C-alpha cells in the first residue's frame, strides 16, 4: 500500500473506530451510571449487556420470516433487550448488592465478580438447551448492504461521505443513530427530569438526599434499571456490529468499556462517551499497525497486529490512571479523614 491510498484507508479505519467506539460508549455508560451512584464497579454489567445481545438475537431469529419492516424488527429487539436487561440489573442489585451496601468495599466487588460468573453459566445453559452456543446474528438483508452502494442512490450526506471515501454499511449508520438517540434521551433523563435530579442527589450524598425526602433505594434501583436498559441497547448494537455473541463474549468489550469510563472520568456521562469513542479509534488503529509498518518500512510496527488490540486498552488504562487518575473529564475527589 502506498501513501496515496493510505489516507482514505486511515479515514475509514478511524470512522470504523468511531462506530465501534459508539458501542463501547453505550456500554461504558452502564458502568458509569452505577459507579456514579454506588461507587461500585458492576462487574456483572458485561453479562447484563450480553443478555441484551442474546435477547436481540432471539428477537431477530423469531421475527426472521415475519413480514415486518427491518426497522420495526430492530425497534422490537431494542425494546425487548432494554426491558430484560434492565429488569435483570434491578434484580441483581436487589439480591446481591443491596444487602452489602454498608460492607467494606471489597465485599460487593467480589460479589459482583461472582454474579458475573453465575450469569455466564446461566446464559450458556439456557442457550445450550436450544443447541446454540455461538449466536450468529442474521440481520434483515437491507442492514448489511453498503450505506451508499451506487452513486445514483446517494444524495446529500451519503454523497459527501462517498466522495471522501468513507465506506459504511447501513447497520453502522443505524448503530451511530441509535447510540446518539439513546445518549440524547439519557442526557434529558438525567439532567432535565425530576427522576434525574433525584438520582444525581443520591449520587452526591445518600444520607442528605434521604433527609430531603428522596427514597435512596428506589433511586438506586432506577439507576440500575437505566444502566441495564443501556446495557440491553449496547448488547443489540454489539450483536449487530460483530455478528456473533456467546455467553462469554462480554469480557473483552466489558473491560474496554470500563477503561473507556475511567478514561473519560468515571461517573461522568460525557466522559464515558468521549472515552468510548477514543478507545474505539485506538483499538482500530492498533489493528492496522502492521499496515502502517509496511508503509513506513518498519518491521517492529509490522509485528504488532490485531492480536494486540486488547493490550492497547489496558496500556491506555495504566497510563491514564498513572498520569490523570480522575480521567479526562472527571472531577478530583479529595479524601476526607
Position 132 contacts another protein (CB under 8 A): no
Q: Which residues, at least 6 apart from 2, have a Cβ–Cβ distance to it below 8 Å?
A: 295
- Out of 115, 148, 272, 292, point to the residue binding another protein (CB under 8 A): 115
Q: Which three cell numbers stand for residue 204?
A: 452526591
Task: Quote the CA–CA distance of 37 and 186 in Å, as a whole number.
Answer: 15
Give the shortest CB-141-to-another protein separation in angstroms: 32
x/- binding map, residues 163-202, to another protein, per CB under 8 A? ----------------------------------------
Q: How many helices (H) and strands (E) does the chain have?
A: 14, 2
Position 283 contacts another protein (CB under 8 A): no
Task: Quote the CA–CA distance of 55 and 5 in Å, as a whole number.
Answer: 41
Please choose, from the candidates 21, 72, 80, the residue with its C-alpha nearest in 3D space to the C-alpha of residue 54.
80
Residue whose CB is less far from another protein, 101 or 146: 101
* Span of 115-123, 153-161, 229-237, 277-285 interacting with another protein by CB under 8 A: 115-123
Please choose, from the candidates 109, 247, 82, 62, the residue with its C-alpha nearest in 3D space to the C-alpha of residue 181.
82
Please choose, from the candidates 249, 224, 210, the residue with its C-alpha nearest in 3D space to the C-alpha of residue 119.
249
Count Cβ atoms within 10 A of the Cβ of residue 145 and give its class: 0-12 exposed, 13-18 middle, 19 or more buried: exposed
- Out of 2, 3, 4, 129, point to the residue binding another protein (CB under 8 A): 129
Position 85 contacts another protein (CB under 8 A): no
Give the shortest CB-246-to-another protein separation in angstroms: 13
Please choose, from the candidates 272, 312, 225, the residue with its C-alpha nearest in 3D space to the C-alpha of residue 28.
272
Distance set, CA 302 to CA 5, 46, 311 (Å): 18, 32, 16
CB 28 within 8 A of CB 258: yes
Please choose, from the candidates 318, 223, 320, the residue with its C-alpha nearest in 3D space to the C-alpha of residue 29.
223
Give the shortest CB-211-to-another protein separation in angstroms: 8
Position 223 contacts another protein (CB under 8 A): no
Size of the site for another protein (CB under 8 A): 59
Residue that is written with C-alpha cell 444525581 in the block: 200
Residue whose CB is less far from another protein, 40 or 81: 40
Give the shortest CB-30-to-another protein separation in angstroms: 15
Position 87 contacts another protein (CB under 8 A): no
Position 298 contacts another protein (CB under 8 A): no
* Span of 145-153, 170-178, 206-214, 289-297 interacting with another protein by CB under 8 A: 206-214
Residue whose CB is less far from another protein, 102 or 141: 102
CB 211 within 8 A of CB 59: no
x/- binding map, residues 27-66, to another protein, per CB under 8 A? ------------xxx-------------------------
- Out of 1, 62, 117, 177, point to the residue binding another protein (CB under 8 A): 117
Residue whose CB is less far from another protein, 242 or 248: 248
Residue whose CB is less far from another protein, 7 or 306: 306
CB 111 within 8 A of CB 97: yes
Q: Which three cell numbers stand for residue 301?
A: 510496527
CA dihedral 61, 67, 69, 74 (to 10 degrees): -20
- ∠ CA 167-169-175, nearest 5°, is 120
Q: Site residues for another protein, window 89-108 (CB under 8 A)? A: 96, 99-108
Residues that bind another protein (CB under 8 A): 39-41, 96, 99-111, 113-122, 124-125, 128-129, 206-207, 209-211, 214-217, 251, 255, 258-259, 262, 307-308, 310-311, 313-315, 317-318, 321-322, 325, 335, 337
Amino acid at each position: 500500500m502506498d501513501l496515496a491510498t493510505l489516507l482514505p484507508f486511515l479515514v475509514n479505519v478511524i470512522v470504523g473506530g468511531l462506530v465501534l467506539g459508539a458501542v463501547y460508549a453505550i456500554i461504558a455508560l452502564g458502568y458509569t451510571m452505577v459507579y456514579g451512584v454506588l461507587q461500585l464497579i458492576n462487574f456483572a454489567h458485561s453479562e447484563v449487556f450480553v443478555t441484551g445481545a442474546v435477547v436481540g438475537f432471539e428477537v431477530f431469529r423469531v421475527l426472521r420470516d415475519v413480514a415486518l419492516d427491518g426497522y420495526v424488527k430492530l425497534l422490537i429487539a431494542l425494546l425487548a433487550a432494554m426491558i430484560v436487561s434492565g429488569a435483570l440489573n434491578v434484580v441483581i442489585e436487589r439480591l446481591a448488592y443491596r444487602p452489602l451496601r454498608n460492607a467494606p468495599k471489597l465485599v460487593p466487588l467480589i460479589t459482583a465478580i461472582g454474579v458475573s460468573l453465575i450469569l455466564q453459566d446461566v446464559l450458556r445453559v439456557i442457550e445450550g438447551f436450544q443447541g446454540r452456543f455461538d449466536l450468529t446474528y442474521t440481520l434483515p438483508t437491507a442492514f448489511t448492504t453498503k450505506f451508499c452502494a451506487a452513486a445514483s442512490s446517494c444524495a446529500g450526506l451519503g454523497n459527501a461521505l462517498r466522495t471522501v471515501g468513507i465506506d459504511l454499511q447501513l447497520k453502522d449508520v443505524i448503530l451511530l443513530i441509535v447510540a446518539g438517540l439513546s445518549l440524547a434521551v439519557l442526557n434529558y433523563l438525567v439532567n432535565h427530569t425530576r427522576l434525574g435530579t433525584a438520582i444525581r442527589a443520591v449520587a452526591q450524598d445518600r444520607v442528605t438526599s434521604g433527609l430531603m425526602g428522596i427514597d435512596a433505594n428506589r433511586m438506586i434501583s432506577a439507576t440500575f434499571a437505566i444502566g441495564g436498559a443501556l446495557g440491553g441497547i449496547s448488547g443489540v448494537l454489539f450483536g449487530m456490529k460483530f455478528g456473533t455473541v456467546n455467553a462469554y463474549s462480554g469480557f473483552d468489550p466489558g473491560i474496554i468499556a470500563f477503561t473507556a469510563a475511567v478514561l473519560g472520568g468515571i461517573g461522568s456521562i460525557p466522559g464515558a462517551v468521549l472515552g468510548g469513542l477514543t478507545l474505539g479509534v485506538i483499538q482500530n488503529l492498533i489493528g492496522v499497525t502492521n499496515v502502517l509498518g509496511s508503509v513506513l518500512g518498519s518491521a517492529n510496527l509490522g509485528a504488532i497486529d490485531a492480536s494486540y488490540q486488547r493490550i492497547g486498552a489496558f496500556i491506555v488504562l495504566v497510563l491514564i490512571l498513572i498520569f490523570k487518575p480522575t480521567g479526562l473529564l472527571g472531577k478530583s475527589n479529595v479524601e476526607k479523614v
